[in-house]
């Protein structure tokens, strides 16, 4: 582990900031997306002979993304796993969870944190009000079931509700979304009984 640790330490000295360049309209905040995180650390990692891969897998605890650093010269490696919490059991939900897992795995293993573009925005920001209470696991399942029953596209739904993922819905949004989905369900043509 000595050679990869030395290479990683050198790479970390050259890493930039993971700029918060993507917007989360629900919380009126910015976050560092996967591209920003990769821009911040990949050139330095690669320059010091460290390859990065992010395979997915499944074990007795569930699905995960495993971020791996592999030192080309020595073959030594470092890794960390991020569980995949898939909000909708389709490729779109899976892809979203994988991207999230890759972002957090890479930040964790590289030892970088997201920062504001101007470096001082956090210090100058006024105290924020407490964020609205997010939906519970049970409410998440209800929304997920209703979306499935109404054949609602998750990406369009999240864009309409102004959230990045379904889990980011707050209690008021949950009520509004359920009303909207119930109306949509009632308006759908009835399927013929077999």
In a domain, 194, yes or no: no
- pLDDT value, residue 86: 83
Q: What's the number of domains the chain is made of? A: 2
Judgement on whether residues 67 and 136 belong to the same structural domain of the protein: no
Full residue range of the structural domain in which residue 135 is found: 131-184
Judgement on whether residues 115 and 135 belong to the same structural domain of the protein: no
* Model pLDDT for residues 59-114, shown as the tens digit of each residue: 988 899 999 999 999 999 999 999 988 877 788 888 888 988 898 899 889 888 76
- pLDDT value, residue 91: 85
In a domain, 192, yes or no: no
Q: Are 32 and 114 in contact (CB under 8 A)?
A: yes
pTM: 0.54
Which pLDDT band, with edges at 50, 70 and 90, does 191 fall under? low
Q: Which of 124, 141, 168 is a domain's end point? A: 124
Which of residues 149 and 31 earns the better pLDDT score? 149
- pLDDT value, residue 130: 57
- pLDDT value, residue 114: 67
In a domain, 191, yes or no: no
- pLDDT value, residue 121: 43
């Amino acid at each position: 582990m000595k050679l990869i640790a030395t290479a990683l330490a050198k790479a970390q000295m050259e890493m930039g900031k993971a700029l918060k360049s993507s917007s989360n309209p629900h919380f009126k905040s910015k976050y560092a997306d996967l591209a920003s995180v990769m821009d911040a650390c990949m050139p330095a990692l690669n320059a010091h002979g460290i390859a990065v891969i992010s395979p997915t897998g499944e074990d007795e605890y569930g699905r995960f993304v495993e971020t791996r650093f592999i030192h080309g010269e020595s073959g030594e490696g470092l890794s960390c796993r991020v569980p995949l919490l898939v909000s909708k059991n389709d490729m779109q939900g899976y892809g979203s969870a994988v991207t999230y897992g890759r972002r957090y795995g890479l930040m964790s293993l590289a030892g970088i944190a997201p920062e504001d573009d101007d470096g001082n925005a956090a210090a100058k920001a006024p105290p924020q009000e407490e964020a609205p209470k997010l939906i519970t696991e049970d409410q998440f399942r209800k929304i997920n079931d209703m979306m499935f029953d109404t054949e609602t596209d998750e990406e369009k739904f999240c864009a309409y509700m102004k959230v990045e993922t379904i889990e980011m819905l707050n209690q008021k949004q949950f009520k509004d979304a359920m009303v909207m989905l119930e109306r949509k369900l009632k308006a759908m043509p009835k399927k013929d009984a077999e």
